[in-house]
Structure 1
Amino acid sequence: MLRTAAIAAATLCTATAALAPPAAADSFADQCNFPNKVYPGRPWALQRVLLDELWSQSKGKGVRVAVIDTGVDTQNPQLAHAVDASSGANFLPTKNGKGQKIDRGKANGTTDTVGHGTRVAGIIAARPMPGTGFVGLAPEATIIPIKQNDAEGDGTAATLAQAIEHAIKEKAQVINISQDTANAIQPAGGLHTAINDALAQGIVVVASAGNDGLDGNVKLTYPASYPGVLAVAASDRNNERASFSQSGDFVGVAAPGVDMISTVPKGGHCSDNGTSFSAPYVAGVAALIKAKHPGWTAHEIVAQIEQTAERSVAGHDMLVGWGVVDPVRALTDDEHPIEKPDAHEGLSRAEAPTPARLVLGETADERNTRLATYVAVGAAVLVAALAGVAVAIRDARRRTAGGGPGRPTA
């Protein structure tokens, strides 16, 4: 069984509302309905980006991003022109694990009764719309909607593998997978094979790291921990790991995943938390880079995202990987492609302070100060002496000019 990597939506099979609830100050933390009200402002996750500078470099035009999820609803006006429904598919099983029939929805993947996939797609490529400051990071990218899961977690590793192969067939350049296998158990080889097939085709594969990190839990999640997959953790408003975000050496970068505003079925927006919404933030950046540098390989795009991430320490750590993604820097600090991130590039080396020389007795500074004092005092005495002599000479001359002593005056 697969589970979507969201934690705040009560309709999801693995949801735990007690973990990292939306901020009380956010009016969109209420129960989300389809449709819902429109978010009027600019969400914090977009406020941290200079969008004009970012979009002067790229808007993701022409890049195809497969969203393998619970479907993508095209009734939301911000997604109506962002989704290529003709390339979509529905791999949800016809029956669940109990043998009960499942309502699969539309065959092209544009039915989303959960809202999870619609949120994911919006973070990547929602089009601008009057009345809201929310927009996708790559507002000219194209979404391939692939439905493979539902609220009950009826998707399997096998159907996920089918969805990935479909994305390859439909010429996806980026694949976003905001889900992981239940209990962090490595699935049978079919899923790994599909991931490797995508990587072999030069596709950037982005996956959420998972949301079981509240108690410092460290474990591998799949498909995020497969080699070559860019695993994304969640960061908060302070650019620190969100408390629920999964940690591990497999984490590549972190991205905003708390109080994430995005599109919902039939129109409007909702707020949610989870690495599910961090992954598409990074997938959007990957689409921007691919549009600007179509000749770059998937490996080079991943290395660019990792190298330009904002980090407080040199190198990689298990909490936020190479750091919190910096979309503008990823698009502007790009003179040439790199094969792997450099832990020290862009970080200045600290120089050890020069120890003070131990001097016994009078130091050079003290001696210079003493000599300077002597010179100043000596100069003052000399000036005073010269002034006294000058006065004596003047008085003597005056007496001589006046006739001097013993001579009568006229």
Structure 2
Amino acid sequence: MFRDRPVTTFALVGTLMATALTIPVASPAAAAPAICDNPSDPGEVNTETPWHQRWLAPQRVWPFSTGAGVRVAVVDSGTDSSHPQMAGRVTSGFDALRGASGGDVDCVSHGTAVASIIAAGRQDGVGFHGLAPDVAIVPVRISERNANDGPGAGGDTVTGAVFAQAIRYAVDDGADVINLSVTLYQPDRDVEQAVRYALDKDVVLVAAAGNKHQDGARPDPVPYPAAYDGVIGVGAIDQYGARIRQSQIGPYVDISAPGGAVVAATRLFGHGAYDGTSFAAPMVSATAALVRAAEPNLSAREVTRRILATADPARGDATRGYGSGVVNPYRAVTERLTTGAPVAQPPLPDVPYDAAAQARAERWALFGRLALWIGLGLAAMAVGVAVLATLLPRGRRTRWRPTRPSAPPPTDSDIDEPEEIFFRVPSSMPRG
């Protein structure tokens, strides 16, 4: 758990096989090299681009950093160095179960999947690849079992003392980042001291937040080392941005990352789909490696602050298991933080008074008003001339007399028959 972190919002929900490593009671360590007696199940080659790669878009950050020169220790079930996408990227490492070299053997694929999310190389025809393909993986083997293995499944697991030894080995072997997709559910003094040792050596520690969410029945069990101060605790989201059901909720969740139905390498060959915070943690470890490669002068604490501060908003806040938000490798590498106080900008200078310019502006304003009135006057005159041009010819024709409308011509019905007119001749009138 990393304290003093910013709290934001956002997330995703998961599917498929939940496979976080457990740390119960250890078997005695043996010096003999590890031999995997379980049959190999290499899986199929993934040709499509997985959703978490489309979400994080690591190609955007590769022009600035590919993780070159950074060593990332994967404390897990080992890492199969024979996988085609891991060849040349995995050191021999250390087998803490047997106290000998040989961490590059993996009998359950868990550690190989985790390491491949960080560093798997690109191959033609393969959709899956790692986020920081040029880092060196230091495998430290501490378990041969998965959480879904029953009590009679066999295989060795590790005590807190051996777990602590694995962390110290990774630090002494020059790890810049340590991925801890491993969960203890009780505090352990040896592990806590190993965590403090790594932080004092300026190593970035990233841990899974655990997959035992209780769905509100009771508080989730506290996961270690995610709950230790200075460790980045990582919750898991799915492709819809929601926390996957089993991802735990608590103050130890500092940030979220894709962890539902993510594609990763299996041992020997091929790929599988995985669920759980174990596979969200390497997304953040890869981001830390990218930042450390881009700016090697940053301290582990500064790298942690950068990652948390540049997280994208999630669908929920820290109280719902999202921490500061969803990790964003591009922002973490390209955005800068500062501890300096805000710098006050100088006030804008007063505009100097220019009498000549003011006079010109006033003249132009006057000319504008005059032009408006002149334009209106000319328009009125044009209307008057048009009216006169219409009326003058008619006035001349009528000699300026008022005219009446002419009566319509008579019709036949309007003409009466002529009447006989009789005149009475006066008697005094001489007769002809």
Same fold, TM-score > 0.5, yes or no: yes
Please state how far the C-alpha of 1:399 moved relative to its aligned partner. Answer: 4.3
Q: Is residue 2:143 matched to residue 1:141? A: no
* 1:333-355 C-alpha deviation (Å, 9 max, x unpaired): 23x4569xxxxxxxxxxxxxxxx
Relative to structure 1, the CA distance from residue 84 to residue 337 in structure 2 (aligned partners, 3 Å threshold; closer, same or farther) is: farther
Please state how far the C-alpha of 1:220 moved relative to its aligned partner. Answer: 2.1
Helix, strand or coil: the match of 1:109? coil
Helix, strand or coil: the match of 1:77? coil
Please state how far the C-alpha of 1:260 moved relative to its aligned partner. Answer: 1.4
Which residue identity lines up with residue 260 of structure 1 in the other structure?
A: V
Q: Is residue 2:327 matched to residue 1:322? A: no
Match of 1:299 in 2: 301
Helix, strand or coil: the match of 1:272? strand
Of 250, 253, 259, the match for 2:252: 250
Range that drifts further, 123-132 or 311-320: 311-320
1:109-188 map, 5 Å: 109-151=103-145, 152=155, 154-181=157-184, 184-187=185-188
Match of 2:273 in 1: 271
What 5-or-longer segments of structure 1 have no aligned partner?
A: 1-5, 15-31, 93-103, 340-382
Contact 1:251 1:320 in 2 (8 A): yes
Relative to structure 1, the CA distance from residue 209 to residue 171 in structure 2 (aligned partners, 3 Å threshold; closer, same or farther) is: same
Contact 2:20 2:211 in 1 (8 A): no
Relative to structure 1, the CA distance from residue 218 to residue 56 in structure 2 (aligned partners, 3 Å threshold; closer, same or farther) is: same
Q: Is residue 2:220 matched to residue 1:211? A: no
Match of 1:70 in 2: 77
Match of 2:95 in 1: 90
Rg larger for: 2
Which residue identity lines up with residue 289 of structure 1 in the other structure?
A: V
Relative to structure 1, the CA distance from residue 290 to residue 337 in structure 2 (aligned partners, 3 Å threshold; closer, same or farther) is: farther
Of 386, 399, 403, the match for 2:399: 403
Please state how far the C-alpha of 1:214 moved relative to its aligned partner. Answer: 5.0
Relative to structure 1, the CA distance from residue 261 to residue 214 in structure 2 (aligned partners, 3 Å threshold; closer, same or farther) is: farther
Alpha-carbon distance in 2 for matches of 1:113, 1:155: 15
Contact 2:235 2:322 in 1 (8 A): yes
1:48-67 map, 5 Å: 48-67=55-74
Helix, strand or coil: the match of 1:65? strand
* RCO higher in structure (CA 8 A, sep ≥6): 2
Contact 1:303 1:338 in 2 (8 A): no
Contact 1:39 1:133 in 2 (8 A): yes
Contact 1:219 1:248 in 2 (8 A): no
* 1:186-224 C-alpha deviation (Å, 9 max, x unpaired): 22x111010001001100000000011251443421100
1:222-371 map, 5 Å: 222-312=224-314, 316-334=318-336, 336=337
Alpha-carbon distance in 2 for matches of 1:81, 1:128: 13
Helix, strand or coil: the match of 1:175? strand
Contact 1:65 1:176 in 2 (8 A): yes
Alpha-carbon distance in 2 for matches of 1:77, 1:248: 38
Alpha-carbon distance in 2 for matches of 1:68, 1:118: 11
Relative to structure 1, the CA distance from residue 398 to residue 105 in structure 2 (aligned partners, 3 Å threshold; closer, same or farther) is: same
Identity %: 36
Alpha-carbon distance in 1 for matches of 2:227, 2:212: 14
* 1:286-341 C-alpha deviation (Å, 9 max, x unpaired): 0000000000011111111111111158975441100011111112223x4569xx
Relative to structure 1, the CA distance from residue 404 to residue 266 in structure 2 (aligned partners, 3 Å threshold; closer, same or farther) is: closer
Contact 2:16 2:260 in 1 (8 A): no
Relative to structure 1, the CA distance from residue 314 to residue 303 in structure 2 (aligned partners, 3 Å threshold; closer, same or farther) is: farther
Contact 1:118 1:264 in 2 (8 A): yes
What 5-or-longer segments of structure 2 have no aligned partner?
A: 1-14, 24-38, 146-154, 341-379, 403-432
Match of 1:196 in 2: 196
Contact 2:21 2:182 in 1 (8 A): no
Helix, strand or coil: the match of 2:183? strand
Which residue identity lines up with residue 123 of structure 1 in the other structure?
A: I
Which residue identity lines up with residue 402 of structure 1 in the other structure?
A: T
Alpha-carbon distance in 2 for matches of 1:11, 1:318: 21
Q: Give me the TM-score of the superposition, normalised by structure 1.
A: 0.71
Contact 1:211 1:246 in 2 (8 A): yes
Alpha-carbon distance in 1 for matches of 2:398, 2:390: 13
1:19-58 map, 5 Å: 34-58=41-65
Which residue identity lines up with residue 220 of structure 1 in the other structure?
A: V
Please state how far the C-alpha of 1:234 moved relative to its aligned partner. Answer: 0.2
Contact 2:249 2:319 in 1 (8 A): no
Match of 1:26 in 2: none
Alpha-carbon distance in 2 for matches of 1:77, 1:289: 26
Helix, strand or coil: the match of 1:159? helix
